[in-house]
């Protein structure tokens, strides 16, 4: 895996042509595997002999993972994403009620309002930047960051710092000292926010988690409280940020597809789903570990191996999405289970924030292209530089001309 990230699709196609499961070298010359084929990934994600708890990570247990390993937080953060069975259900249930389709739909007016004010900001940024503004910075980032911060009760003044730190945590090319420092500071900032909430509880998720920690009956430990906040902040904004950025980039580069939406032949929800499939915001997700030697698509994955879920590859698997899997097509059939993308996960760890991500991205795209129908990229698409991560998949910035 290239720690500096880059566009994953050419390498994915080469790997997929060889098979649905591939051995990979992780940072620090660590041996791992990736599951890339759609059917193999679906089977693997729901397999009863596959765990997420890092106790099953052989190299970690044997002390072979150095301090400051760039993927350490993914493996060891204490929260639902590294828990199995009853522990997983307990941790997930503490926040899941806030993310049901009904509760999320109640957020629509607030999301619309925030979107409208961010479009004003984008317009102002372009006016003072010679007609060009970075859509990622001024629109795609503050929308999901604003929403998840409001849900968690995080004040405005913390947001830039939290984004900077979470961005370092998801970067795969970060040095060991920087990785340790970013993790430590993220934990410290969230600890400070939690301590303030314990003093003055509010009507927010952080206060609800603190109440669970303070109840009798071990519903939530201190490390799990902070781990859950880390997870919610990172998962709640880095991903949707990539989705909105990737969707705008795709529509600008495929104006015929934008036209189909304008003519009512496809909806904004179709754009969201096709972007998730075609340019998955989460490219390779760390980690799962087979609890015994496991054969997937004819390849043995040894017990305790760290395995990446290859969402960006599965989204373009021609065996499932057809010979034109590389084509961005908002009218593509996607309703049956056999062809539904896996980019929000599958099985017990299916994305908790899926309804929220879909709502935010749908509102963002509709409002953006309604207000700026002539919006276009300000630089050629192939000159956009990519994120330095193989976990997240997007570009670093998206300079656009927001034209009415
Ligand atoms: C486009 C946006 C998003 C994408 C592409 C995405 C993708 C994913 C994927 C692929 C997983 C499964 C990871 C795995 O175990 O392999 C996941 C899990 C998760 N997502 Fe999302 N996500 C998005 C938005 C969100 C948002 C907005 C939130 C929070 C509000 C969120 C919270 C979570 C959480 C907490 C989990 C862990 C669930 C568990 O382990 O039970 N995600 N997401």
334 confidence band (pLDDT: 50, 70, 90): confident
Alpha carbons 353 and 99: distance in angstroms, whole number: 6
Residue 3 belongs to a domain: no
Average pLDDT, the chain: 95
Q: Looking at per-residue confidence, does 279 or 219 come out higher?
A: 279
**pLDDT score of 337:** 79
List, for residues 7-46, the tens digit of each pLDDT value.
999 999 999 999 999 999 999 999 999 999 999 999 999 9
Cα angle 76, 166, 281 (rounded to 5 degrees) comes to 95
**pLDDT score of 33:** 98
List, for residues 351-398, the tens digit of each pLDDT value.
999 999 999 999 999 999 999 999 999 999 989 999 889 999 999 999
39: domain CATH number is 1.10.630.10
Tokens (6 digits) for 288: 């799962």
Residue 96 belongs to a domain: yes
Alpha carbons 150 and 156: distance in angstroms, whole number: 9
Residue 380 belongs to a domain: yes
* Contact call for residues 279 and 298 (beta carbons, < 8 A): no
191 confidence band (pLDDT: 50, 70, 90): very high
What is the whole-number distance in angstroms between the Cα of residue 288 and the centre of ligand 1? 15
**All residues at 6 or more sequence positions from 131 whose CB lies less than 8 Å from its CB, including other chains:** 378, 401
Pocket of ligand 1, beta carbon within 6 A: 80-81, 92, 99, 148, 231-232, 235-236, 239-240, 243, 281-282, 285, 309, 311, 343-345, 349, 351-353, 356-357
Residue 2 belongs to a domain: no
**pLDDT score of 339:** 80
Say whether pLDDT at 217 is over 80.
Answer: no
**pLDDT score of 170:** 87
**pLDDT score of 358:** 97
Name the residue at shortest CA distance from atom 15 of ligand 1: 349
Residue 329 belongs to a domain: yes
Number of domains into which the chain is organized? 1
List, for residues 265-304, the tens digit of each pLDDT value.
999 999 999 999 999 999 999 999 999 999 999 999 999 9
Name the residue at shortest CA distance from atom 17 of ligand 1: 351
Q: Strands of 376-377's sheet, edge to edge?
A: 133-134, 399-401, 376-377
List, for residues 41-79, the tens digit of each pLDDT value.
999 999 999 999 999 999 999 999 998 999 999 999 999
**pLDDT score of 335:** 75
Alpha carbons 332 and 354: distance in angstroms, whole number: 20
| Residues spanned by the domain of 213 | 9-401
Say whether pLDDT at 154 is over 80.
Answer: yes
What is the whole-number distance in angstroms between the Cα of residue 298 and the centre of ligand 1? 29
Q: Looking at per-residue confidence, does 110 or 337 come out higher?
A: 110
Residue 37 belongs to a domain: yes
Ligand 1 pocket test, candidate residues 353, 356, 365, most atoms within 8 A of CB: 353
Residue 4 belongs to a domain: no
* Contact call for residues 271 and 257 (beta carbons, < 8 A): yes
- What does the pLDDT average to over 133-156? 97
**pLDDT score of 8:** 96
């Amino acid at each position: 895996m290239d720690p500096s990230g880059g566009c994953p699709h050419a390498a994915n196609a080469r790997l997929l042509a060889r098979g649905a499961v591939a051995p990979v070298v992780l940072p620090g010359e660590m041996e791992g595997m990736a599951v890339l084929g759609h059917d193999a990934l679906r089977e693997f994600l729901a397999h009863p002999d596959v765990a997420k708890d890092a106790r099953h990570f052989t190299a970690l247990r044997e002390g072979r993972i150095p301090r400051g390993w760039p993927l350490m937080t993914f493996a060891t953060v204490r929260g639902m994403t590294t828990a199995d069975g009853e522990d997983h259900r307990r941790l997930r249930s503490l926040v899941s009620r806030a993310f049901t389709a009904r509760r999320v739909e109640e957020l629509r007016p607030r999301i619309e309002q925030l979107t409208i004010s961010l479009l004003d900001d984008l317009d102002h940024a372009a006016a003072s930047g010679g007609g060009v503004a970075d859509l990622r910075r001024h629109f795609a980032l503050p929308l999901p960051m604003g929403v998840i911060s409001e849900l968690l009760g995080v004040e405005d003044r913390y947001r830039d710092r939290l984004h900077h730190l979470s961005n370092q945590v998801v970067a795969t090319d970060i040095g060991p000292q920087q990785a340790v420092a970013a993790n430590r500071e993220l934990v410290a900032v969230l600890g400070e926010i939690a301590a303030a909430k314990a003093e003055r509880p509010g009507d927010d998720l952080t206060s609800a988690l603190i109440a669970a920690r303070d109840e009798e009956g071990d519903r939530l430990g201190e490390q799990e409280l902070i781990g859950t906040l880390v997870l919610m902040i990172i998962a709640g904004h880095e991903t949707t940020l990539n989705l909105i950025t990737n969707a705008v980039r795709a529509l600008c580069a495929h104006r015929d597809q934008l036209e189909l939406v304008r003519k009512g032949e496809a909806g904004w929800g179709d754009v969201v789903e096709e972007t998730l499939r075609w340019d998955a915001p989460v490219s390779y997700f760390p980690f799962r570990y087979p609890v015994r030697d496991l054969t997937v698509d004819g390849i043995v994955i040894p017990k305790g191996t760290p395995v990446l879920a290859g969402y960006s590859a599965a989204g373009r698997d021609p065996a499932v999405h057809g010979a034109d899997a590389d084509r961005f097509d908002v009218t593509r059939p996607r309703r049956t289970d056999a062809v539904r993308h896996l980019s929000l996960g599958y099985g017990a760890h299916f994305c908790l924030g899926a309804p929220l991500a879909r709502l935010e991205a749908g509102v963002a795209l509709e409002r953006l292209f309604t207000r700026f129908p002539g919006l276009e990229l300000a630089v050629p698409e192939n000159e956009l530089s990519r994120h330095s991560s193989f976990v997240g998949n997007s570009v670093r910035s998206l300079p656009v001309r927001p034209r009415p």
